[in-house]
């Protein structure tokens, strides 16, 4: 009888320890996921012309864009493709504004954030446009 109660107590203690370990693992997992999902690694600004805004994806539809940095020929031994900046867009309002700017060919300042990780439902890049600012001065065509 004494042996059975010892075995029952041991089993109960093991279940308790296992439950605590599972809770700890879940909390750590959620913390790491939250850090990678919402954490911002860098904030910045790029200047150039929006050359493409498109909706991409088979399962997850995301908006992707490309900014021409306007330094064509300024960097030696690089192609024009290397002089572009790829980014993703999360906001529908910003997509509309970027599409309007892309059609006019205006020179803009693109404000962006860089996240720690790529998630397929968010976009193809770690860079996300947060706002676009049209340059006030007239740019040569």
Asked whether the beta carbons of 134 and 111 are under 8 A apart, the reply is no
Per-residue pLDDT band at 88 (split at 50, 70, 90): very high
The answer to whether the Cα torsion of 48, 133, 46, 117 is positive or negative is negative
- Please give the CATH topology (third level) of the domain spanning 41-134: OB fold (Dihydrolipoamide Acetyltransferase, E2P) (2.40.50)
**pTM score, two decimals?**
0.74
Strand pairing category for 107-115 and 62-68 = unpaired
Inform me whether the pLDDT recorded for 135 exceeds 90: no
Strand partners, 56: 62
pLDDT in tens, 30-63: 999 999 999 999 999 999 999 999 999 899 999 9
Tokens read off for 109: 């300042």
The pLDDT of residue 137: 59
- In terms of DSSP H, where are the helices of 46-106? 92-104
Domain locations in the chain?
Answer: 1-38, 41-134
């Amino acid at each position: 009888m004494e042996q059975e109660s010892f075995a029952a107590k041991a089993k109960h203690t093991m279940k308790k320890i296992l439950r605590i370990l599972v809770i700890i693992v879940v909390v750590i997992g959620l913390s790491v996921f939250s850090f990678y999902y919402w954490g911002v690694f860098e904030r910045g600004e790029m200047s150039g012309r929006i050359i493409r805004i498109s909706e991409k994806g088979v399962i997850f539809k995301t908006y992707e864009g490309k900014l021409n940095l306007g330094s064509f020929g300024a960097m030696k031994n690089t192609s024009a493709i290397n002089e572009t900046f790829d980014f993703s867009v999360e906001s529908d309002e910003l997509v509309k504004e970027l599409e309007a700017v892309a059609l006019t060919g205006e020179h803009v300042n693109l404000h962006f954030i860089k996240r720690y990780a790529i998630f397929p439902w968010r976009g193809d890049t770690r860079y996300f446009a947060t706002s676009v600012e049209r340059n006030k001065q007239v740019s040569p065509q």
